[in-house]
Amino acid sequence: MAYIEWDQYQSTGFYDELLAEPGVPRPSAQMLCQYLAGLEEREIRDLKTAAEVAIQVMGISFTVYSDGNMIDRAWPFDIVPRVIPLDEWERVEQGLKQRVKALNMFIDDLYNDQRIIKDGVFPAELLEQSVNFRQQCVGIHPPGGIWAHICGSDLVRDKDGTIYVLEDNLRIPSGVSYMLENRNVTKRVMPELFETGRILPVDDYPAQLYDMLSAMSPRKDHEPSIVVMTPGIYNSAYYEHAFLAQQMGVDLVEGSDLIVGTDDCVYMRTIDGLVRVDVIYRRVDDLFIDPEAFNPESALGVSGLMRAWRNGNVALCNAPGAGVADDKVVYAYVPDIIRYYLDAEPILANVPSYLCMKDDDREYVLANLDKLVVKPANESGGYGMLVGPHATPEQRAAFAERIKADPRNYMAQPTLALSVAPTLTENGVEARHVDLRPFILSSGVDTYVTTGGLTRVALVKGSLVVNSSQGGGSKDTWIVDTRGLGA
């Protein structure tokens, strides 16, 4: 007997990623839904077990701190993929490219002429108060004007199906390795679904990343020497750092492996002696990369790295200071930023945003806390935010005080009715909220967007929090070519 009966599955009130209406799969998900409906409970459980075993065998993990202990946890994965039709995806891809292009121009402008401020489009006071603006970067113009070579943008879909950009991660976005591993796991446990050839592959990301990093090398006449720089094994994303280094065949270094010579070039300590490094894909936060320029206490960084970078002797990816545009207050200005630099309308929508620094907006926010999501400007990972409708009156009151004390640090958005996707639970398949994080690579010459991205799912019923550190899971994401299917 079939275990999953689509006409019994409930997702009313939300946009469902797989089903157009109860019992009726979207054209792009038809093959998948049919396949799943044809399986018995035992077979579904076997698939789930097979996926868990694969994750264990492949050693896919992430690290969490708990009571001072470091725990390697198996990556939480749901076997039911999330599907996006190719034609829709192509539009998203264009939108992301447009957005990242404008953001890079914005960052470059802020550290140089500040035309956008002089022209009155972006308020100077916002920049003055930004915690991610790095004085040390003023006057620098990295090759191609690219600061955020790698961007991870979070996309969500509202009730009516509109896709919104929720935020842009321009500092050290993570998750791409899980996107790749999710696909590997799905291919292992459901290989027959890939035989149709309609599911687009995702696995050229490491090659694209490598090409982009190579292109950044300041020594054009040399085979570039590239490294991935990690804060070390205690970092929650260490698995990803090691994975990407391995996939690209480059060294995984820590700060102590590098040294800046008197010639202001960066070298790594190897058994062959000191070897010059051209490109550093650094997964260490700005403030820790160079104790000479930033936090003098940092043991994760390399003294003189900023000097080497300023002198053009090493490429840093992402550039220090790129985080200035990775700010939930700056976010509200992105549509204007796109119009200003590209003279075009944004292809992808921004979620309407209220900035608590503006008096009108703040009053509205304080009066409507029960309807809004309020976020601190510079936290990531879903920490420190208030989901108004789910909070108690006491929590809302406490949060109102925080907003009044530091209005610049907060912005609010209406609670979107985040889309859902069928997810395997203890009680069969149920609807759970999802988001999507695609990754965008910008070399200055071309821009590459991952095919889909990392779909994160809030495994707890009704929850909107998708972060793996807080009980979120993930799904394989399929971009499906439906052309010629009569859809």
Question: What 3-state DSSP class applies to 34?
Answer: helix
Q: Does 64 bind another protein (CB under 8 A)?
A: no
Which residues, 6 or more positions from 423, have their beta carbon under 8 angstroms from its beta carbon?
78, 80, 429, 430, 431, 432, 457, 459, 473, 475
Bridge partners, 354 (sequence order): 412
Smallest distance, another protein to C-beta of residue 306, A: 18
Q: Does 272 bind another protein (CB under 8 A)?
A: yes
**What is the C-alpha to C-alpha distance for residues 477 and 183, in angstroms, rounded to an integer?**
8
Smallest distance, another protein to C-beta of residue 72, A: 11
Do 436 and 447 meet the contact criterion of CB atoms below 8 Å apart?
no
DSSP 8-class letter at 302:
-
Q: Does 257 bind another protein (CB under 8 A)?
A: yes
Which residues, 6 or more positions from 327, have their beta carbon under 8 angstroms from its beta carbon?
130, 132, 377, 378
Q: Does 232 bind another protein (CB under 8 A)?
A: yes
Q: Which stretch binds another protein (CB under 8 A): 31-39, 186-194, 262-270, 376-384?
A: 262-270
Q: Which stretch binds another protein (CB under 8 A): 151-159, 253-261, 374-382, 438-446?
A: 253-261
* Pairing verdict, β 273-277 and 266-270: antiparallel
Q: Does 262 bind another protein (CB under 8 A)?
A: yes
Do 202 and 180 meet the contact criterion of CB atoms below 8 Å apart?
yes
Is the Cβ of residue 62 or residue 267 nearer to another protein in the bound state? 267
Q: Does 276 bind another protein (CB under 8 A)?
A: yes
Q: Which region holds residue 471: left if phi is over 0, alpha if psi is between -120 and 50, else beta?
A: left
Q: Please pick, from the candidates 10, 49, 94, 256, the single residue that binds another protein as defined by CB under 8 A.
A: 256
Question: What 3-state DSSP class applies to 389?
Answer: helix
Q: Please pick, from the candidates 50, 193, 242, 347, the single residue that binds another protein as defined by CB under 8 A.
A: 242
Question: What 3-state DSSP class applies to 80?
Answer: strand
Is the Cβ of residue 151 or residue 258 nearer to another protein in the bound state? 258
Is the Cβ of residue 228 or residue 377 nearer to another protein in the bound state? 228
How many residues touch another protein under the rule CB under 8 A: the total is 27
Exposure class string for 283-292: b at 16+ Cβ within 10 A, else e:
bbbbbbbbbb
Smallest distance, another protein to C-beta of residue 265, A: 7
Is the Cβ of residue 176 or residue 253 nearer to another protein in the bound state? 253
**What is the C-alpha to C-alpha distance for residues 25 and 33, in angstroms, rounded to an integer?**
7
Fill in the per-residue mask, 100 to 139: x = in contact with another protein (CB under 8 A), - = not in contact. ----------------------------------------
Contacts to another protein by CB under 8 A: 59, 232-233, 242, 245-246, 251-254, 256-257, 259, 261-263, 265, 267-276
